[in-house]
Amino acid sequence: MASPALPEFIEPDLDFIAQINSGSGLNLKKCYQCATCSVACTMSHDDQPFPRKEMIYASWGLKDRLIANPDIWLCYNCKDCSTLCPRDARPGDVLNSLRKMSIKEYSKPAAMHLLFNDTRKLPWLFILPALIIITMGFATGLMNISPGGDRIVFAHFFPVPLIEMIFIPLSLGVTLVFFLGIRRFLKDMQATYARLGKATPGSIDFKRLLITIVTQLPAIIRHERFSTCSETKGRKISHMMVAFSFTSLAFVAGAFVFALYVLNSHGPYDQINPVKILANVSGIALIAGSLLLIRERRANARQTNGYFDWYLLGLALSLGITGMLTQTLRLAEIPWAAYSMYFIHLIFAFNLVAFLPYTKLAHLVYRTVAIAYCHYVKEEK
């Protein structure tokens, strides 16, 4: 006769519980497991219900079942569960805090996250990039603080080779941080799902996972899941505006590099240039989308808004405003103001790229991988 399985010993992590409570401004003890949240959530399915089980794990301090649990990334924080919760436990905000903690766990070095947990360190997020840009400019002798000339040409002030010397190594470093983080994230997700009986133990078939990521990208880009929300359904438009802006501006940057090195075409370009038109539309959409997101957050009194949330919105809005002002001042032929604004815009751009793995924008990477992994597991079954 087979001996009965031994019960699993569970040791609550009290510090983890305290971090969740402080991060969301809530008290996990409010939740009495009525399961209203899982019933209300239109994205919760019978074979993968949430966020009730996540609320149980959080209340018990089971960090190992949450930080590497892909289910926390299936939530888009549409607030349906929090609105209908009879105890005001706000499951949506709890999952938002868990995602923030997951980013902190996988995006290393951990010291970088200290910059985004204390508002007193905010100035350093802009002082450090400014010092790096100025140091590189003067060390190479490429930055010209008095470009002169009949026209305002930003390449005469801050040449393209200097931008490449700064942003290419920076981008490679960020890519490495994401690669190392995602590798650990996938390994831990597989272990978590295997322990919970949701996945077959063993290694991941990365070729099949990559195919799954590609097939899921269109739905993620179109923000299809936002359409299922009730409370904050309108967020889809503002999110898509910002996502469109970042994607289009990345394409614009690549197009101008192609024009410079392949077509030997130097800027500044005419306003009727198709790529220039796309850049202007994207800049306007970035400003409008950011303002809409800020308005939506301020209008929702029940939503927990922290420094982590506001920082990204402020950065996106600042990028859009400084980018459009840079062009406006150039067209107005005010050299000192145009060059100064361009330098400020470079600082914001550096900030966006350098701190991408540590801000809320890292959701784009971790959520995409988590959603693809969930579909990968379903296909495996």
- pLDDT tens, residue by residue, 70-110: 999 988 888 888 888 999 888 988 998 999 999 999 999 98
Share of the chain above pLDDT 90, in %: 55
Contact between 26 and 89 under an 8 Å Cβ cutoff? The reply is yes
* Nearest CA-CA partner of 64 in 196, 172, 162, 242: 196
Token duo for residue 202: 């063993």
Ordered alpha helix ranges (H), 122-159: 124-140, 154-157
Between the alpha carbon of residue 345 and those of residues 208, 222, 224, 349, the distances in Å are: 40, 28, 32, 6
- pLDDT tens, residue by residue, 267-307: 788 888 899 999 999 999 999 999 999 998 888 766 667 78
- pLDDT tens, residue by residue, 215-273: 999 888 887 777 777 766 677 889 889 989 999 999 998 888 888 888 888 778 888 88
Whole-number Å distance between alpha carbons of 320 and 280 = 10
Instruction: Label residue 324 by pLDDT band (50, 70, 90).
Output: very high
* Nearest CA-CA partner of 244 in 316, 296, 345: 316
Q: What average pLDDT is seen over the chain? A: 88
Its pTM stands at 0.89
| CA angle at 361 for the pair 307 and 124, rounded to the nearest 5° | 50
- pLDDT tens, residue by residue, 34-67: 989 998 888 887 777 889 999 999 999 999 889 9
* Nearest CA-CA partner of 311 in 358, 373, 260: 358
- Give mean pLDDT, residues 325-340: 95
Which DSSP state fits 234?
T
- pLDDT tens, residue by residue, 155-197: 999 999 999 999 999 999 999 999 999 999 999 999 999 988 8
* Nearest CA-CA partner of 374 in 134, 70, 15: 70
Whole-number Å distance between alpha carbons of 193 and 38 = 19
Torsion over CA: 152, 156, 158, 161 (sign): positive
